Amino acid sequence: MTLTHVVVTSLDRVLHIVVWLVIIRAILSWIRPSPDGPGGQTVMQLARVLHQVTEPLLAPIRSVMPGTGAGLDLSPLLLLFLLQFLRQLLWGLVR
- Residues of the chain above pLDDT 70, percent: 98
The whole-angstrom separation of Cα 30 and Cα 22 is 13
Whether 32 shows a pLDDT value over 80: the answer reads: no
Cα separation of 81 and 77, whole Å? 6
Residue closest to 94 by CA, chosen among 8, 3, 11? 8
pLDDT per residue over 80-92, tens digit each? 999 999 999 998 9
pLDDT one-digit tens code per residue, 33-49:
777 877 778 888 888 99
pTM over 0.75: yes
